Amino acid sequence: MTSVLILSLLAASTAASVDDCTGMVPLIDMGPGQTYQGQPGGLYPGGVNYLGGPHLAEGMHRAVRIRPLDANGNPDPNGKIVLLSIGMSNTSQEFGEFIRSLDTYPDKNPAVVVVNGAQGGQDARQIANPNAPFWSVVDDRLAQAGVTRAQVQAVWHKEAVARPTLPFPDHAIELRELHEAAMNILASRFPNLKIVYSSSRIYAGYAETDLNPEPYAYESAFSVRWLIRDQINGDPGLNYDPRRGPVTSPWIQWGPYLWADGVCGRSDGLQWFRQDFAQDGTHPSASGRRKVAAMLLQHFTSAPTARIWFLRPGLGVLLGDMNGNGQIDGGDANAYLLYEADPEEFARRYPNVDPIESGDITEDGVTDNRDLLEFMHILIRFTSL
């Protein structure tokens, strides 16, 4: 449903000059050996665009533990799951449109409360201060929504530095450090925060000001990429595991990757046209906000670590649950092997299981031995106590 929505929004955009692109390659389209100023592409280490390995396993383990909480953070079937946005003006405008789109979306979990904590004029430098007014405003907005810090369990984070001047990679390194500071604040303020979904900027090739033009918008993706890479590699400043030392950060993965090269677009069809932006060429117009809102809805209804708590109970498929019993256990590994050996017998034995939706961890459209190998990380995490 959401993919159709994105395509319809793209089709509604009128044609623009073919000069309205930069020639830079979206991270998700960079192939093996292809680099940008020496930096490889892909959203995750290894040049891949899917989340896998022990990091996915930890994310899944956290996602299944997102549940309604009361105001004090205790499990309560009548409680709330708060999804909060953190960021700047673009983030606020885009997330506000996402919230409006949920008014006509029937499949959202009724326990989920979506709160827009992002604010105009608040760049990454400002929110890196734990005593900044930004954080008091976030508290006020939570209170206005009738929820508390203790009920915040997921965050969409999107930030940038206003008027950057440093060359690459220096400005992207600075932004990565500011992202870490924000993660440290989130971990300290929200005791039940399980997951942060972080995104980088939309296209800025039409920018009329120095607020955040290209190539800074494009290059901000490397800041998110490095942030997640460093958490995967065990950076103590991004530690989410109390078994490894003081918890300094929530667990982080990519949110939707929003950048495409103007009208030249990217492989999945996303394009950015001049009319998708306000007069300054930086902030999204109504059509631009709708594009991001559609990508956010697609993310929260399809990402394995989001769909199982964002969607109404019973709709979100648990990734790796190949035998359809609602759990991760050894029977799923056997079901993977059965599907690979005899798909027809798999269909007879598990008629209610979609083997792609349940088993395609590598997001390549098939479920095969590569997915089984990735699944073993999930199995290990779910069976370790």
**90-100 tens-digit pLDDT:** 999 999 999 99
pLDDT at residue 1, rounded to an integer:
41
**162-205 tens-digit pLDDT:** 999 999 999 999 999 999 999 999 999 999 999 999 999 999 99
- Residue 12 banded pLDDT, cuts 50, 70, 90: very low
| DSSP strand pairing (112-116 vs 195-199) | unpaired
pLDDT at residue 15, rounded to an integer:
40
Overall average pLDDT of the 65-89 stretch: 98
Length reported for the chain:
385
Q: Has residue 356 got a pLDDT over 70? A: yes
**336-352 tens-digit pLDDT:** 999 999 999 999 999 99
Where do the domains of the chain lie, and which CATH numbers do they carry? 2-310 (3.40.50.1110), 330-383 (no CATH)
**124-152 tens-digit pLDDT:** 999 999 999 999 999 999 999 999 999 99
Q: Has residue 7 got a pLDDT over 60? A: no
pLDDT at residue 17, rounded to an integer:
47
pLDDT at residue 248, rounded to an integer:
98
What residues are paired with 265 via a beta bridge? 261
Q: Has residue 276 got a pLDDT over 60? A: yes
Give yes or no for a contact between 182 and 124, defined as CB atoms under 8 angstroms apart: yes
**CA 156 to the chain's CA centroid:** 7
Q: What is the mean pLDDT of the chain?
A: 95
pLDDT at residue 384, rounded to an integer:
82
Give yes or no for a contact between 360 and 304, defined as CB atoms under 8 angstroms apart: no
Closest among 29, 64, 13 to 286, alpha carbons compared: 13
Q: Has residue 5 got a pLDDT over 60? A: no
* Helices within the chain (DSSP H only): 2-12, 53-63, 89-101, 124-127, 133-144, 170-189, 216-232, 286-302, 304-310, 330-341, 343-349, 355-359, 369-383
The answer for residues whose C-beta is within 8 angstroms of residue 170's C-beta and 6 or more apart is: none
Calpha distance 362→360 (Å, rounded): 6
